[in-house]
Structure 1
């Protein structure tokens, strides 16, 4: 591995650790209430991180507020991050999704 590739990998690992520490420190309720988070992608060059909330976060009525708080606060806490995308189990369930409830469902 070249020195520049190693430096890029080291920087990505550092950002992942910073993001993970931020989430554990500022949002302990995620794991405390049966949820979890994973860092899906880090693009150090673009200053972007993608996080997935899972477990009890899927279906939790507070998830949208948690998502917004993470998106708003993380860039101010982790210097390398400018933008944040957060997904949960409800993302992508809009019209045209294979998980849509058929219109003739009797409820």
Structure 2
């Protein structure tokens, strides 16, 4: 296992495994990655908020994170109703401060 924190490893994974998010004008942010509880929270933004297949992207992220990270047991992917895209992202559209609805953890 890497000495790098889980959150940073997941951010790196998102850049490599989910480039389609950024290619389509979307963004993603890993909000929580707790190696003790196995809980991960990822938020999608940008054009993901208006995309008809963001639920498929979310399901793929969930399944792949659980498969690829031994310590990950539960993944929540949030998609905003509205929100501003920001320029505060890292490579691959990752890392911005997105604005999200509070309607539910899996709101699409």
Q: Same fold (TM over 0.5)?
A: yes
**Structure 1 residue 72 corresponds to structure 2 residue 63:** yes
Larger gyration radius, structure 1 or structure 2 = 1
Where 1:46 maps in the other structure, the secondary structure is coil
**Structure 1 residue 14 corresponds to structure 2 residue 5:** yes
Unmatched runs of 5 consecutive residues or more in structure 1? 1-10, 94-107
Deviation at 1:23, TM superposition (A): 1.2
Which portions of structure 1, spanning 4 or more consecutive aligned residues, are displaced by more than 3 angstroms? none
Question: Residues 7-44 of structure 1: CA distance to partner in whole angstroms, max 9, x if unpaired?
Answer: xxxx6x62012111221111101111111101111222
Deviation at 1:72, TM superposition (A): 0.9
| Contact 2:6-2:34 within 8 A present in 1 as well | no
RMSD between superposed Cα atoms in Å: 2.0
TM-score w.r.t. the length of structure 2 is 0.69
Deviation at 1:79, TM superposition (A): 1.9
**Structure 1 residue 58 corresponds to structure 2 residue 35:** no
Unmatched runs of 5 consecutive residues or more in structure 2? 82-100
TM-score w.r.t. the length of structure 1 is 0.69
Q: Which has the higher helix share?
A: 1
